[in-house]
Structure 1
């Protein structure tokens, strides 16, 4: 097998993924139909308040306009003609888009669709300050592009290894320059070598049971390569041929959940093309899987892509979801470790995948799973939220880290790179020595008979010891 080559960048945010395809602009969208649907979705909310205990910002501040029903009230005002004022935009920006309110709502309010539509309106209509625009452009020109992230790895590793990291943090210079830049620096995981996966990993242990495509992601691929390697090994040990398309890039999750719909559609089309030849797509990052399952609605009004997008959404599975559907074949070896499992919002609320990761962990001999209190309250990562709203995100991260520490677990298990970075950073602030791993890495250790110390001694998914 040949090593996987470096993937090309997806197209620029406002360019189509292929030169033969015309650019898809907001003018192409059926705005009036969308507005009618939006109004009907607003009507579903009866303002009962069942969402309040699970809304992270309401939990933090107790402010009505920073709750789902409060934001829906503001959406109604805008829908009826009120302009997007700065205070209104601030309340929308403070929403994490965690979808806990969707799970808790007895009326079936589709708040996720409401906030995504509203964020697209904000991006179209609201003039942000030059500083805000600069930070946002930097984030969206970097994180969805694996090659750009890869180019950052060398300088970042040197920064971490030379001790400059500690010096900069003590100085507070980044906080004074930009809290968002400081947040990005703090969240960066410790980096080791980044092994490249081959384009195909053969099934092991007998007859092939399935052929699956595997999304490598952007942040997952460059910052947590050990998670991807463990995912491929677990799938192969369970009898799957794993196909890792070279043409894949960003799935568009960050863009989709931030209101950058044209950008998200361009990334989605490229992803659809890259994975059309496989029957099942396995995803190990909660936000990515949630976005890919939304392609059907994202491209529903695009005649050339609607059917293809729906087909991709239908065959996308989270890793835990797929493994439970497939059933175990490889023997589990004992792993004497106590773990706390964290529910990533885009996995539990966005995809309804809650029991499957717990079932996989519970099936490992000698492993004990402990529950974290307030599991429905977001950790504060939420895609780019911990960069654009660093103070609120840090408060939520500290709450989650405290809940993790109460479990007295030796290892925190999470299924999303953003959550892993966010909670690991908060645990570090509190001086806790709890390591963080992905579900795939725990399974990989059990299937290969590796010691629990290999997981406990780690600083985070795919990283070196802290």
Structure 2
């Protein structure tokens, strides 16, 4: 767990109540500069009641006040009051998964999502990271937001997977001993299936009900192409022309969620320009983290008057695929699919976008399908974008905990709505010696509409 020794714990932190007498101090020359510091008004909304504590993954793991939402808000207040941005303070901010479960749990409506994102942007501008940490982050952001670069990695990855080395390395534990980070990256790599390219325009089947754009994404496009192909088929079956330009790039979610503000803006501008003249009724997204960031473009561009209206117009069209399908209602017939499913709420769908019932409603609409709930369903699986690479040990703990709860349902298949969750939980289930089919919500719908069997969904 990142450094806790140098942080002064607020009064009452050892009990159920946090610092109840801490007024928001005026911002001075401390941890933050004048460009979008965490808002003092939003900090003041926290009444330190502690309702967030059981929902916070790092607090559940470690029981440390400063690794809870209210503890981090206390540190933000200290920074606003003039305290410097120390390594210890940054360690607590970095330890946050950004899962936003605390936002759901908070009875006072504290916008912790806004606070942590603005704080992370400050950290990236003002804090000097170690050479190793900086190199790892630069490597990640030189690869993952670029679909073409991810595609170029297919060849080496396929060759590696065919050699049998993955199972040897995992059994030996060698990578764990050499580098937990490398071990995490190796364990998360999905088995590459056959390419399933999506047409730039897929025509509606039957009566056309409208025209939608479709985000192809980065990791989704290159590592889970079947999800995009299924999304296009389902939308077409439901009567929509689907526009999916191959030239589209990253939406900026990964950069935005990790404090790389200018990089996020660059990606977002390009995506807005790609779709704003496409004549679409909605922009459908099948990755929870991407949809969450795209719906928040207004805040990303809040300091740029020339872009904020364009960002707002684009965000207003963004819909998660489950959200969109429930809004428009089904027209395509569902064929029976005899399978027992455990549904995992991706954090950026359930907590950041407040979309919980729509995926369940769609799945329950499939004849023969039985849906089971997962214990501790609100607790993050540990993926959290790139958290499982930057913080492999707590991510593994959370992944193993999630895998245990998933397997305890006795379900044949795990279904979720985010590529990171699929990779994380698949890795944890394999590590536990289990074997389970995994699929995106839209893949299950596609199988039902096409009259396929559960076996056709495969095992990752």
TM-score (norm 1): 0.90
Partner of 2:53: 52
Partner of 1:255: 255
Per-residue CA deviation, residues 60-111 of structure 1 (Å, 9 max, x unaligned), is 1111111000111111111111111111111111100000001110111100
CA distance in 1, matches of 2:336, 2:418: 25
Q: Is the 8 A contact 1:157 1:192 kept in 2?
A: no
Work out whether 1:111 is the aligned partner of 2:112: yes
Partner of 1:345: 347
CA distance in 1, matches of 2:329, 2:381: 31
CA distance in 1, matches of 2:285, 2:165: 35
CA distance in 1, matches of 2:327, 2:158: 39
CA distance in 1, matches of 2:377, 2:168: 35
Partner of 1:93: 94
Q: Is the 8 A contact 2:33 2:122 kept in 1?
A: no
Work out whether 1:155 is the aligned partner of 2:143: no
Per-residue CA deviation, residues 335-361 of structure 1 (Å, 9 max, x unaligned), is 000000000000011111100000000
Cα distance, 1:126 vs structure 2: 1.3
Per-residue CA deviation, residues 207-244 of structure 1 (Å, 9 max, x unaligned), is 10111000010000000000000010111111110000
Deviates more, 1:161-170 or 1:128-137: 161-170
Per-residue CA deviation, residues 226-282 of structure 1 (Å, 9 max, x unaligned), is 000001011111111000013310001110000111111111101101111222100
Per-residue CA deviation, residues 404-451 of structure 1 (Å, 9 max, x unaligned), is 111110000000000000011101111112111000110010000001
Cα distance, 1:171 vs structure 2: 4.8
Partner of 1:268: 268
Q: 1:447 aligns with which of 443, 446, 449?
A: 449
**Structure 2: any 5+ residue segments left out of the alignment?**
1-31
CA distance in 1, matches of 2:358, 2:60: 28
Q: Is the 8 A contact 2:59 2:65 kept in 1?
A: yes
Work out whether 1:240 is the aligned partner of 2:240: yes
TM-score (norm 2): 0.91
Q: 1:401 aligns with which of 375, 388, 403?
A: 403
CA distance in 2, matches of 1:412, 1:250: 27
Matches within 5 A, 1:354-433: 354-433=356-435
Per-residue CA deviation, residues 111-138 of structure 1 (Å, 9 max, x unaligned), is 0111111111111111111111111111
Name the SS for the 2:396 alignment partner: helix
Q: 1:299 aligns with which of 298, 301, 310?
A: 301
Partner of 1:146: 147
Q: Is the 8 A contact 2:42 2:110 kept in 1?
A: yes
CA distance in 1, matches of 2:95, 2:35: 27
Partner of 1:207: 207
CA RMSD of superposed structures (Å): 1.4
Cα distance, 1:31 vs structure 2: 6.2
Partner of 2:63: 62
Q: Structure 1 pair 304/427, CA: closer, same or farther in 2 (3 Å)?
A: same
Name the SS for the 2:212 alignment partner: strand
Partner of 1:334: 336
Cα distance, 1:331 vs structure 2: 0.5
Q: Is the 8 A contact 1:135 1:180 kept in 2?
A: no
Q: Is the 8 A contact 2:215 2:284 kept in 1?
A: yes
Higher-RCO chain (CA-CA 8 Å, sequence separation at least 6): 1
**Structure 1: any 5+ residue segments left out of the alignment?**
1-29, 461-466
CA distance in 1, matches of 2:177, 2:427: 20
Partner of 1:25: none
User: What number of residue pairs does the alignment pair up?
Assistant: 427
Matches within 5 A, 1:168-247: 168-204=169-205, 206-247=206-247
Q: Structure 1 pair 409/171, CA: closer, same or farther in 2 (3 Å)?
A: closer
Name the SS for the 1:443 alignment partner: helix
CA distance in 1, matches of 2:440, 2:303: 36
Deviates more, 1:439-448 or 1:194-203: 194-203
Name the SS for the 2:269 alignment partner: helix
Per-residue CA deviation, residues 262-313 of structure 1 (Å, 9 max, x unaligned), is 1111111011011112221000000000010010111122122111100010
Per-residue CA deviation, residues 141-181 of structure 1 (Å, 9 max, x unaligned), is 00000000000011101100111223333454433443222
Name the SS for the 2:128 alignment partner: coil
Cα distance, 1:459 vs structure 2: 2.4
Q: Is the 8 A contact 1:55 1:100 kept in 2?
A: yes
